[in-house]
């Protein structure tokens, strides 16, 4: 890696040095006189420390990050933290993080990053039913330690300036479900003003055990939070029907055929369900 001029003693590098590969060289050097009959020698240890140049760019510890955060949490809720390293010595530069504006800036308005710590927080409550996951692109860049705030701001605003000195990572934020939606019955077109009321006609040949209607309720939540079971709350005093808790089928518990009393009663029965 080095040469010494035999006449002047000047030591020169004969290759490009990289501090991040080898930061210190230790050699033994010798000087010889031209005396006769026997030349005499002197030796010394030569240590060469390679000065650091800021030639390494910060890198995220992971090429992708995946975080989870529950919906409906207040603004400022911590989502996760990004980490970056670079191989230069610690005296070179500070890292700054930012979120790239993508997707019309939608996600940038939803999340904020602490530019020094790399911690991502929400900037408003999230709604899983509106959006179950968010994709962010985060960047880390390096600014010289003696740069002032103006330089940081300038670098932060122009990625082109630091195009060669930053790296990016993709951050996926999964929004965890909270049970914040009640089931809603899907009913046929209501005959009355009330949208939660449905009139079901029971055939006068319906027999005990036959399905007279099937109700469906939908729930906008996820998994168990959207799992609906059905039951009759009130109005089934005559025990003409029961409802299957899972399928929502309303099943006749009596024969309706030829029994005019029951038909009359049926018309006046109101079943309340949940
Ligand atoms: Ca370096
Ligand atoms: Ca660096
Ligand atoms: Ca629900
Ligand atoms: Ca929900």
Whole-angstrom Cα distance, residue 72 to residue 129? Answer: 11
With b for 16 or more beta-carbon neighbours within 10 A and e for fewer, the 204-233 pattern comes to: eebeeeeebbebebeeebbeeeeebebeee
Cα 8 from chain centre: 63
**How many angstroms does the Cα of residue 206 sit away from the middle of ligand 3?**
34
Whole-angstrom Cα distance, residue 115 to residue 145? Answer: 15
Which numbered ligand comes closest to the C-alpha of 130?
4
Tens digit of pLDDT at every position of the chain (274 positions): 999 999 999 999 999 999 999 999 999 999 999 999 999 999 999 999 999 988 888 899 998 999 999 999 999 999 999 999 988 887 777 889 999 876 555 666 899 999 999 999 999 999 999 999 999 999 998 887 665 666 555 555 554 444 445 688 999 999 999 999 999 988 766 555 555 666 777 777 778 899 988 989 999 999 999 999 999 988 888 888 999 999 999 999 988 776 555 444 444 455 555 4
**How many angstroms does the Cα of residue 243 sit away from the middle of ligand 4?**
27
**How many angstroms does the Cα of residue 164 sit away from the middle of ligand 1?**
15
Whole-angstrom Cα distance, residue 100 to residue 138? Answer: 6
Q: Which residues are 81's β-sheet partners?
A: 119
Domains defined for the chain, CATH in brackets = 2-49 (no CATH), 59-176 (2.60.40.60), 184-273 (2.60.40.60)
**How many angstroms does the Cα of residue 184 sit away from the middle of ligand 3?**
9
**How many angstroms does the Cα of residue 180 sit away from the middle of ligand 4?**
5
**How many angstroms does the Cα of residue 16 sit away from the middle of ligand 2?**
18
Nearest CA among 239, 245, 240 for reference residue 273: 245
**How many angstroms does the Cα of residue 176 sit away from the middle of ligand 4?**
8
Nearest CA among 261, 273, 235, 97 for reference residue 169: 97
State the pTM of this model: 0.72
Give just the sign of the alpha carbon dihedral 82, 86, 90, 91.
negative
């Amino acid at each position: 890696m080095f040469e010494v001029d035999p006449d002047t003693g000047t030591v020169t590098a004969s290759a490009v040095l990289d501090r991040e590969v080898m930061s210190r060289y230790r050699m033994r050097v010798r000087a010889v006189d031209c005396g006769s009959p026997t030349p005499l020698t002197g030796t010394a240890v030569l240590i060469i420390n390679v000065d650091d140049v800021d030639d390494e760019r910060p890198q995220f510890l992971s090429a992708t990050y995946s975080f989870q955060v529950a919906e409906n949490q207040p603004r400022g809720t911590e989502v996760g933290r990004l980490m970056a390293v670079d191989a230069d010595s610690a005296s070179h530069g500070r890292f700054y993080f930012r979120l790239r504006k993508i997707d019309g800036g939608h996600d940038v308005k939803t999340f904020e990053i602490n530019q020094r710590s790399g911690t991502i927080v929400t900037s408003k409550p999230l709604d899983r039913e509106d959006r179950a996951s968010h994709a962010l692109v985060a960047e880390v860049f390096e600014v010289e330690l003696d740069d002032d705030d103006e330089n940081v701001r300038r670098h932060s605003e122009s990625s082109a300036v630091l195009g060669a000195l930053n790296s990016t990572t993709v951050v996926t934020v999964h929004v965890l479900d909270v049970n914040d939606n009640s089931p809603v019955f899907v009913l046929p077109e209501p005959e009355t003003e009330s949208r939660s009321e449905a009139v079901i006609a029971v055939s006068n040949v319906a027999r005990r055990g036959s399905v007279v209607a099937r109700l469906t309720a939908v729930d906008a939540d996820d998994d168990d939070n959207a799992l609906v079971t059905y039951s009759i709350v009130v109005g089934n005093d005559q025990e003409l029907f029961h409802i299957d808790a899972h399928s929502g089928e309303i099943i006749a518990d009596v024969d309706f055929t030829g029994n005019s009393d029951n038909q009359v009663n049926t018309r006046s029965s109101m079943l309340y369900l949940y």
